[in-house]
Amino acid sequence: MSTAMHRTLSLGLVLALAACSNPRTSARSIRIEELPRRGADASSILRGRVLGFDPREHRVAGYVHVEGAGWWSKPVDGDPAAPIAPDGSFSMRVVDGGLDEYASIHAVAVVPIESTPPLARGTARIPAELASLAMDAKTSFRRTLRFSGRTWGVKEAPRPVGPGGNRFSSDERDVYVDERGRLHLSVRRRGDVWCASEVVLLERVGFGTYSIQTDSRLDVLDPRLTFGAFLWDSYGDDTSDNPHREIDFEDTRWGDATKTTSSQFVVQPFPAPEHLQRYGLPDLTSDARVTRVFEWSPDHVRFTAARGHHSVRSIPAALVFASYEYARAAERPVPTAGREQFRINLWMNSTELGGASPPAPPAAEVEVVVTAFEFVPAAR
């Protein structure tokens, strides 16, 4: 058998060889011990340790996830896997250029030495073949902040990424929490480019009731912008047609200032019947405070929007101006709980609508104030 043939075993055999490597069913495991350093003493090396595997028969495949740019195999210099030393340690270079230094997730998996690891080249989902392998993954952001008693990562991308081919700023002038504890997101011009903003909740809290409170004139948001508050799973491993477990609040007219509705509730995929409900925000001239809530359970997603700021347990019915219930059905699955994270962003949307890159900027710089985030776990 040639070396090339030997190294491209069928997927079935790879999975059979690796089945006993699942840390849920054996003591064999892998762990990341050191991520690449950032800042003045930056390094490109990830280090870790493998337990219970024969280093002569296994090696380590690496992956990084860049927010808005997908998953990428590492290392890439000739062979997408690193050897395991006799003592179980391993190291690999995971910063090769591009946006690697901005990666928010680093993942590693133990693979049989004869196999070719599943490759990722900017894919939206982590390779499905990794699900049965011994894995470890770590999330980290170059900058974090505290908002509503929780830690959030600040998305950063100096090159165009999703959504909408935007650049994302982590500058403290563009994304910050003020002295009153309110989160500020913005779309601003920095030099000769416009930058969007996004924060990512570092906790994964699962089924329950999610709420955000805003205090900005989102009823008159520039139609070239989208304000979103949503769940998103970067791993994309749900087996339904909503692999990223995406559930959205969005304020946007998608570039059309004549739209009579300003906002939407969504359980992706949005083109499917009854997955999207448009509605209009009321006139917020005298009071811009709005509370949005969705309750996510295995059977339904229930959305509510109300004037004013309220706890999820005490929203006056008289102040509710929009609601929608998405109920599970044969053709309408509800996302399962996984590794989803809650996110809040403000971005330019014209590229999503078929426009040229870079996306068309708003008429002026825009800032949105989010006064609170609340989560109440589902009853057990």
Q: Are residues 195 and 244 in the same domain?
A: yes
Q: Check whether residue 157 and residue 135 sit in a common domain.
A: no
Cβ-contact 119, 80 below 8 angstroms: yes
CATH number at residue 65: 2.60.40
Q: For the segment 297-345, what is each residue's pLDDT rounded down to a tens digit?
A: 999 999 999 999 999 999 999 999 999 999 999 889 999 999 999 999 9
Q: Residue 76: its pLDDT value, please? A: 72
Contact status, residue 315 vs residue 293, Cβ threshold 8 Å: yes
Confidence at 80, pLDDT banded by 50, 70, 90: confident
Q: Which domain holds residue 69?
A: 3-139
Same domain, 291 and 275: yes
- pLDDT of res. 9: 33
What's the predicted TM-score (pTM) here?
Answer: 0.91
Q: Which residues make Cβ contacts (< 8 Å) with residue 114, sequence separation at least 6?
A: 6, 7, 9
In this structure, what CATH number is given to the domain that contains residue 189?
A: 2.60.120.200
Identify whether residues 269 and 216 lie together within a single domain: yes
Check whether residue 256 and residue 182 sit in a common domain.
yes
Distance CA 170, CA 161 (A): 14
Q: What is the mean pLDDT of residues 246-251?
A: 98
pLDDT at 10 over 90: no
One domain, residues 152 and 274: yes
pLDDT at 7 over 80: no
Quick one: pLDDT at residue 142?
96
Give the residue-averaged pLDDT of 104-127: 95
- In this structure, the answer to whether residues 314 and 177 fall within a common structural domain is yes
Say if residue 132 is in the same domain as residue 115. Answer: yes
pLDDT of residue 157: 98
Within 13 Å and on the Cβ side, how many CA atoms surround 33?
A: 12
Residues 207 and 188 in one domain: yes
| pLDDT-derived band at 3, boundaries 50, 70, 90 | very low
pLDDT at 26: 52
pLDDT for 75 equals 86
> Which of 71-80, 151-160, 251-260 is predicted least confidently?
71-80
**Hey, CA dihedral for 92, 96, 101, 105, is it positive or negative?**
negative
Domain boundary among 83, 108, 139: 139
pLDDT range class, residue 25, cuts 50, 70, 90: very low
Backbone angles phi, psi at 101, to 5 degrees: -70, -15
